[in-house]
Structure 1
Amino acid sequence: MFYAILAYHVEEAIEALTPQQDAALMTDLLQINDRLYRERVLGPAARLGATQDACTLRGPGDGLVIDGPFAETKEQLLGFYVVDCAARDEAIAIARDLRRVNPTAVYEIRPISLYLPGVPLSQG
């Protein structure tokens, strides 16, 4: 059985880290990732982008794109997709395709940084 471990944190606290502190934190986290990978229990791992860069697709028809991750409290996160798109509009189009087959769902679209075991972190 697979489990998603969703990491919640006070975003301002993470944003307040110096680049050196953030790099040290990532080094520690990636050591855990490497161990879990060696144990063959780690799937994809991703760090979500800032909430200010998120948008949400909701409403009837094609839906309305609104800034921010504003799902209603009665809704729970039940799954996620990772897609490789050149632009946010492409990701929104994919969310609209998903919405066509699941019209009662709300889709948050947020940029992520993907960390793959054994692949160096990009310096960009």
Structure 2
Amino acid sequence: MKYMLLLAGGTDQTEAEAAEEMPAWFAYDQAVKDAGVFVAGDALFPVETAKTVAVATGTVTDGPFAETKEVIGGYYVLDVEDEAAAIDWAKKLPPSTTAEVRQVMVFDEG
């Protein structure tokens, strides 16, 4: 089963704090790859670079759709046995983040 971990973190982390935490992120990344559960994952550019598209009107605005102190900063897609395993992996993330764990929906195209 595939699960997405949507990674959210505070916008108040300094560049120095982020740099100090990078070894933990690299270790986590290697751990999911070594375990054979990694499907995909990437960090995202800062929220200030985001655009929001209102599909119904085609309107494009700068930034995220809501004011918040935490923003999505990246994601992992993991292929694990069940939700409990996905949650276990989420608990191993570096402590400056929170993770929303959601099963990936697969549609039968037949």
Q: TM-score range by the shorter chain?
A: 0.5 to 0.7
Q: Deviations over 1:58-80 (max 9, x none)?
A: 1435x111111106xxxxxxxx9
How far residue 37 of structure 1 moved from its aligned partner, in angstroms, is 0.2
How far residue 23 of structure 1 moved from its aligned partner, in angstroms, is 3.0
Q: Deviations over 1:20-45 (max 9, x none)?
A: x4333111111111111011101222
Match of 1:68 among 63, 75, 86: 63
Unaligned segments of structure 2, at least 5 residues: 67-74, 76-110
How far residue 9 of structure 1 moved from its aligned partner, in angstroms, is 1.2
Distance 2:49 2:41 in 1: 19
Q: Which residue of 1 aligns with 2:41?
A: 45
Q: CA RMSD in A?
A: 2.1
Identity %: 24
Query: Relative contact order (alpha carbons < 8 A, sep ≥ 6): 1 or 2 greater?
Result: 2
Q: Which residue of 1 aligns with 2:107?
A: none
Distance 1:59 1:41 in 2: 34
Change (3 A) 1:42 1:64: same
Change (3 A) 1:37 1:52: same
How far residue 11 of structure 1 moved from its aligned partner, in angstroms, is 1.2
- Structure with the largest fraction of helix: 1
Unaligned segments of structure 1, at least 5 residues: 72-79, 81-124
2:12 counterpart of 1:12: yes
Distance 1:31 1:6 in 2: 18
- Structure with the largest fraction of strand: 2
> TM-score, normalization: structure 1?
0.47
> Which aligned segments of 4 or more residues in structure 1 are displaced greater than 2 angstroms?
21-24
